[in-house]
Amino acid sequence: MKRDILDDLHDTEILLVEDDVDLRNLIDRHLRRHAKALYSVGEGKKALKIFQEKSPHVIITDLDLPKMSGLEFIKEVRDINPRVAVVIITAFGTRENLIESYDLGACSILKKPIDLEELSIILLANTPKKITKTTVSLGNNLSYNPIEMTLYDGSKSVVLTKKENKILSLLLQYRGGVVSYDEFQSMIWGETPMTLDTLRMHINSIRKKSHQNIIRNLSGVGYKLTME
């Protein structure tokens, strides 16, 4: 008998927040028998209560929700747990909303009508087992999990700001290569002007929190991660 890859969700608890009943039922039928638990709800305030009680591993949420918007819901979730994976599904997301969604740590944004296979792949990449396997060693007892966006000193997590996490994730993507100042500007600051002093301040903060000089400056060029 052919194995269903969605069976890998057997350890994953999912919170689905969608006010479109037909779409919510469609996703529910697709995932329920595979997930460890699936909590399905149609508005933000109820979703927040379920999240507080159940602490699911992954959230699938619309942005346009009654009583509490999707962005407000995600902000509340981030105050409780900054690491939980969030997948956004939306039909009318403005550019500003999409940027804010990524700033809040959404791991993916799917436009409606959604592709259930694409949603499945995203969920499989965010199972508890997969998240554990994505931790990358930085040497000297330091490691970083780009999905959780968490730096570890041994088994102890090191609290970084959102901007510091984005900087470290970008440096990690280059695997020891140099990230230029222009790339920091375009990929992290976007249209907001970035000064070299501001970038240096965030880099120094990461060094201080990690108690190691894991980021090296190449004067006039950019920064690179020193992975030993």
In a structure prediction context, what are the per-residue pLDDT tens digits for the chain, which is 228 residues long?
445 667 788 888 999 999 999 999 999 999 999 999 999 999 999 999 999 998 888 999 999 999 899 999 999 998 887 778 899 998 876 777 777 787 787 888 888 888 898 898 888 877 766 555 567 888 888 888 776 678 888 877 788 888 898 898 888 877 678 999 999 998 888 888 999 999 999 999 999 998 888 899 998 899 998 865
Which residue matches tokens 């970083």?
144
Torsion angles phi and psi, residue 149, rounded to 5:
55, 55
Q: Amino acid letter at 107?
A: C
Give CA angle at 198 (193, 202), nearest 5°: 125
Name the CATH topology of 5-130.
Rossmann fold (3.40.50)
Q: Are 169 and 149 in contact (CB under 8 A)?
A: yes
Give the fold, CATH level 3, of 134-225: Arc Repressor Mutant, subunit A (1.10.10)
Nearest Cα to Cα of residue 11 among 28, 32, 36: 36
Annotated domain spans of the chain: 5-130, 134-225
